[in-house]
Amino acid sequence: MKGGTVMALAALRAAIDAKAVKLPVTLIVNPDEEIGSPASRELIEAEAKRHKYVLIPEPAKGPRGEVTTGRHAFQRFFLTTHGRPAHSGWTNRDGRSAVRVMAQLIEELESRSDLDNGPTYAVGVVHGGRWVNCVPVTCSAQALCVSRDDATFAEIGRAMDGLVGVRSDVRIEVERGPVRPLWTAHTGTMGLYERARRIAGELGFDLPHAQHGGGSDGNFTGALGIATLDGLGVMGGGAHTHEEHILVSSLVPRATLLARLIAELE
């Protein structure tokens, strides 16, 4: 992500220095993208509506450096379980563990995932209990759910809403969080992609494309029908791990592609 930001700045500077920029350009660097852009979405959509094209320097996908012409939909949910306190070693039969029920919910949700075809359910950021000698009264967790199409998006919503209620005398709450809408390739995006593919060919490399998981602010702009091309950033691997890296060999070709795109769009 940082590499893509540096690349975007370098590409824009190159196009400006060459006096080749034909359209107004707005560069947005937002601090809340990884949590769903809850504060910046309104600004992003408003700015996108004032422009003809959106270029996003998210990392390229896979060893072939695919750009992104569509993204799966993302829904975030906040789960809370409310139990009943008791002494864990003395009167524990009188208690109702919020952590235990949350553990059951996590297993149920993640077992719904179809890792090959979707949807997927992932639960993280779990907090519960305060002292080990007290049956935990509350537990909270966040769920990130991904869908490839509108039908699956609705299916996920029904599944999460269906958790609300009482289980083993523990009350379950589900709150909906930020959403990244489904973005599928449309005429504007594919026209922008074809231009990028031609430029890449002139630079000596192929530029495949696909719809991908992994949300970005392209979900918002693409879903608005604005020509959006995502994944124009660096190539590499190991996303969100300690082995995350970029390929230095991709820097010049990808930055040149982005600069050429900025310069040619009109």
Q: Find the CATH number of the domain harbouring 61.
A: 3.40.630.10
Q: How far apart are CA 147 and CA 143, in angstroms?
A: 13
Q: Give the number of residues written for the chain.
A: 266
Secondary structure element (H or E) that encloses residue 139, with its range: strand 138-147
**Whether 48 and 99 share a structural domain:** no
Distance CA 246, CA 7 (A): 12
Query: Could you read off the pLDDT of 208-232 as tens digits, one per residue?
Result: 999 998 899 999 999 999 999 999 9
Say whether both 25 and 57 belong to one domain: yes
Pair (192, 123) in one structural domain: no
Whether 114 shows a pLDDT value over 90: the answer reads: yes
pLDDT given for residue 23 in this prediction: 96
Nearest Cα to Cα of residue 210 among 240, 234, 183: 183
Span 32-50, pLDDT tens digits: 999 999 999 999 999 999 9
Picking from 132, 36, 31, 121, the residue whose alpha carbon sits closest to that of residue 79 is 121
What is the reported pLDDT for 24? 95
In the predicted model, what is the mean pLDDT of residues 13-32?
96
Nearest one of 38, 58, 76 to 212, comparing CA atoms = 58
Identify whether residues 79 and 163 lie together within a single domain.
Answer: yes
Q: Residues 249-261: pLDDT tens digits?
A: 999 999 999 999 9
Q: Which of 148, 180, 212 is the last residue of a domain?
A: 180
The residue ranking higher by pLDDT, 87 or 118, is 87
- Which of 50, 65, 33 minimizes the C-alpha distance to 219? 33
Q: Are residues 58 and 106 in the same domain?
A: no
Listed residues 156, 180, 204: the one ending a domain: 180
Question: What does the pLDDT average to over 169-193?
Answer: 97
pLDDT at 118 over 90: no
**92/164 same-domain check:** yes
Range of the domain at 196: 2-71+182-264
Rounded to 10 degrees, the C-alpha dihedral 147/258/40/145 comes to 10
Q: How many domains does one find in the chain?
A: 2
Query: In this model, does residue 238 exceed pLDDT 90?
Result: yes
Q: Which alpha helices (H) appear in the chain, and where do they start and end? A: 2-17, 41-49, 98-110, 150-161, 187-203, 218-223, 251-264
pLDDT greater than 90 at residue 117: no
Q: Are residues 193 and 252 in the same domain?
A: yes
